[in-house]
């Protein structure tokens, strides 16, 4: 028999060194018939929704492999009950209290029928926060049904409201195939796991159906941006990687990626945001405008199918770095600083030629274009042409230009 030991507080470790802080398996049996889950220092004092959702998914996955899950008495505390952790480990489909709820969604129909009432039970006093949480949970659960291939296990969800701090925490986890296995088969090029996770966080890339007039592949991007707009945070865990972003430490829309010591089978996403003062409709429309290339400076951005080959224009070729993608943010920074900015500051007209690039990511375009627009001198957009851009590259270019010229960002 193996033993899974959890800490007195179950939260994501600050460094995201592995599964939630304090987890470790004791024992050497590679194929145990049972696993006992215990608390190292009882009683359990705190269980974050991401820990509850991940343990629920993990316990169900282990049962599918024919293993019994034994809940040790050391784990049976009021917090373990109120957070929904005991229900998650026991294989129930719902559990928790008035401020913290665990639930399992096995089908898309269940999401439509039950999710609204689950979220309302926790956040009915804060309608805007309720709308944000409902959107995030629905989109993350849909990702599970569309891509995870869990064999019917479904999406394991948890949501809580800290009434003292007005902080909302929510999470969705699964033990499916993980993001890299979902992304890699659909795109040319030798993508590694990090590239796959980066692309999954890009808008209009990995989806396969439409909703609200916007390509389905905006799910993780919308969830992350909504969280940041509500002064929150975002964390995605898959295989041996995590991606984190926080409104407290914005980094030009590029999440911080970390390698994990221990692999997670599947995908888990955690979101936090402030219930008080959060808004849904305004940020949602602004994010849609970003993706669709709308903004105050759109008319000033000059796209051309082919190079003019004019002697007074200097052409800078933007090459792919992964298959047909331009992903490398450090390379974008080097192109901006070493090649393009010196030309623009001398008054030279520059063509940025994206011919052959199927998609330049938002992080790449942000790193390349924002320094040019802000530091290229007078009438910089009149001296900067974009050539051979695909539709999927035009959107992040427009967003980068709008961001660089706006006084405030959402």
- Each residue's pLDDT tens digit, 125-145: 999 999 999 999 999 999 999
CA–CA separation, 236 vs 144, rounded Å? 13
Among the candidates 265, 285, 305, a domain finishes at: 285
Question: What integer is the mean pLDDT of 213-231?
Answer: 76
* Residue 407 scores a pLDDT above 70: no
**Alpha-carbon span 52 to 370, nearest angstrom:** 40
Token digits of residue 205? 């890339």
Backbone phi and psi for residue 254, each to the nearest 5 degrees, phi listed first: -110, 115
214 vs 235, more confident: 235
pLDDT grade for 204, boundaries at 50, 70 and 90? low
Task: Tell me: do 278 and 297 sit in the same domain.
Answer: no
Same domain membership, residue 239 and residue 310: no
Q: What's the whole-number mean pLDDT along residues 258-273?
A: 90
Q: Is residue 386 part of a domain?
A: yes
Cα distance between residue 243 and residue 249, in whole Å: 13
SS3 174: strand
Mean pLDDT along residues 255-271? 88
Query: If DSSP codes are grouped into helix, strand and coil, which group holds residue 270?
Result: strand
Mean pLDDT of 241-255: 77
- Same domain? 341 vs 279: no
Q: Specify the higher pLDDT residue, 287 or 135.
A: 135
- Integer CA distances (angstroms), 110 to 55, 93, 121, 134, 356, in order: 21, 11, 16, 14, 43
Output the CA–CA distances (angstroms, integers) from residue 229 to 134, 260, 387, in the order listed: 16, 27, 32
Q: Is the pLDDT of residue 294 over 70?
A: no
Integer Cα distance of 314 and 345 in angstroms = 13
What pLDDT score does 16 carry? 45
CB 259 within 8 A of CB 300: no
124 part of a folded domain: yes
Q: What is the pLDDT of residues 12-56, one digit of tens each?
A: 755 444 455 557 777 778 889 999 999 999 999 999 999 999 999
**Would you state the pLDDT for residue 409?**
43
Q: Are residues 273 and 389 in the same domain?
A: no
pLDDT > 70: percent of the chain: 89
Across 338-352, average pLDDT: 97
**Domain end (from 239, 261, 285):** 285
* Rounded-to-integer distance, Cα 45 and Cα 94, Å: 21
> Mean pLDDT highest for which of 171-180, 186-195, 260-269, 321-330?
171-180
Top mean-pLDDT range of 152-166, 178-192, 231-245, 248-262 = 152-166
At 15 the pLDDT is: 45
Whether 162 is covered by a domain: the verdict is: yes
Q: What is the mean pLDDT of residues 250-256?
A: 67
**Same domain assignment for residues 244 and 112:** yes
Q: Which of 239-243, 391-395, 404-408 has the lowest mean pLDDT?
A: 404-408
Task: State whether 211 and 298 are in the same domain.
Answer: no
CB 255 within 8 A of CB 244: yes
Instruction: Tell me the two tokens of residue 200.
Output: 């999954």
In three-state secondary structure terms, 355 is: coil
| Number of separate helices (H) and strands (E) present in the chain | 13, 20
Residue partners of 120: CB distance under 8 A and separation at least 6 = 130
The answer on 163 and 99 residing in a single domain is yes
| SS3 label, residue 232 | coil
In a domain, 141, yes or no: yes
Residue 410 lies in a domain: no
Residues 318, 179 within the same domain: no
Backbone dihedral angles phi then psi of residue 294, each to the nearest 5 degrees: -90, 155
pLDDT at 296 over 90: no
To which H or E segment does residue 253 belong? none
CATH, residue 22: 3.30.565.10
Q: What is the pLDDT of residue 25?
A: 75
**Is the same domain home to 22 and 145?**
yes
Same domain flag for 274 and 366? no
- Structure tokens that stand for 402 in this block: 């709008």
Lowest mean pLDDT among 59-68, 137-146, 152-161, 304-313: 304-313
Q: Are strands 325-326 and 359-360 parallel, antiparallel or unpaired?
A: parallel
pLDDT (average), residues 331-347? 97
Number of domains present in the structure of the chain: 2
Q: Which of 66, 108, 61 is nearest to 89 (CA)?
A: 61
Q: Which among 284, 233, 292, 323 is positioned nearest to 14, based on CA atoms?
A: 233
Is the same domain home to 325 and 393?
yes
Examine residue 26 and state whether it is found in any structural domain, yes or no: yes
- Return mean pLDDT, the chain: 88
Q: Kindly tell me the sign of the dihedral angle through the C-alpha atoms of 323, 174, 267, 397.
A: positive
Q: Is residue 138 part of a domain?
A: yes
What is the structure's pLDDT at 410?
40
Half-sphere exposure of 23 (CA within 13 A, CB side): 23
Which ranges constitute the DSSP H helices of 31-153? Answer: 49-64, 78-82, 85-90, 108-123, 127-143
pLDDT per residue as tens digits for the range 67-108: 999 999 999 999 999 999 999 999 999 999 999 999 999 999
Going 369 to 283 to 236 to 392, the CA torsion angle's sign is negative
Q: Assess if residue 347 is contained within a domain.
A: yes
Q: How far apart are CA 298 and CA 170, in angstroms?
A: 36
Report the C-alpha dihedral over residues 201, 204, 206, 211, rounded to 10 degrees: 110
Shared domain for 274 and 361, answered yes or no, is no
Tokens 């623009």 belong to residue: 344
Tell which of 285, 303, 335 closes a domain: 285
Range of the domain at 65: 2-285
């Amino acid at each position: 028999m193996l033993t899974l030991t959890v800490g007195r507080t179950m939260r994501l470790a600050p460094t995201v060194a592995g599964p939630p802080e304090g987890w470790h398996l004791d024992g050497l049996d590679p194929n145990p018939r049972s696993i006992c889950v215990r608390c190292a220092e009882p009683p359990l004092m705190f269980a974050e929704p991401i820990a509850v959702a991940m343990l629920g998914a993990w316990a169900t996955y282990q049962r599918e492999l024919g293993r019994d899950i034994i809940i040790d008495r050391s784990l049976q505390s009021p917090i373990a009950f109120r957070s929904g952790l005991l229900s998650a480990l026991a294989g129930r489909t719902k559990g928790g209290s008035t401020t913290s709820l665990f639930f399992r969604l096995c089908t898309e129909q269940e999401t439509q029928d039950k999710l609204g009432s689950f979220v309302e039970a926790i956040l009915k006093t804060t309608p805007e926060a309720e709308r944000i949480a409902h959107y995030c949970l629905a989109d993350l659960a849909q990702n599970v049904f569309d891509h995870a291939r869990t064999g019917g296990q479904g999406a394991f969800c948890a949501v809580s409201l800290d009434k003292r701090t007005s902080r909302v925490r929510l999470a969705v986890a699964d033990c499916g195939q993980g993001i890299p296995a979902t992304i890699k088969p659909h795109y040319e090029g030798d993508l590694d796991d990090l590239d796959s996770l980066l692309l999954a966080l890009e808008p209009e890339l990995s989806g396969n159906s439409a909703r609200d007039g916007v390509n389905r592949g905006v799910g993780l991007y919308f969830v992350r941006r909504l969280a940041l707009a509500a002064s929150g945070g975002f964390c995605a865990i898959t295989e041996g990687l995590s991606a984190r972003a926080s409104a407290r430490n914005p980094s030009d829309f590029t999440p911080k990626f970390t390698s994990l010591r221990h692999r997670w089978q599947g995908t888990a996403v955690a979101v936090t945001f402030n219930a008080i003062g959060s808004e849904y409709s305004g940020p949602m429309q602004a994010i849609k405008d970003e993706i669709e290339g709308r903004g105050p400076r759109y008319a000033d951005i000059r796209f051309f199918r082919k190079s003019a080959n004019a002697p007074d224009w200097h052409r800078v070729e933007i090459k792919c770095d992964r298959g047909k993608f331009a992903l490398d943010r450090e390379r974008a920074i080097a192109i901006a600083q070493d090649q393009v900015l010196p030309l623009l500051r001398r008054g030279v007209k520059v063509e940025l030629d994206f011919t052959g690039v199927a998609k330049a990511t938002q992080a790449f375009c942000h790193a390349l274009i924002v320094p040019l627009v802000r530091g290229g001198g007078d009438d910089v957009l009149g001296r900067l042409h974009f050539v051979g851009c695909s539709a999927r590259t035009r959107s992040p270019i427009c967003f980068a230009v709008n961001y660089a010229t706006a006084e405030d960002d959402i």
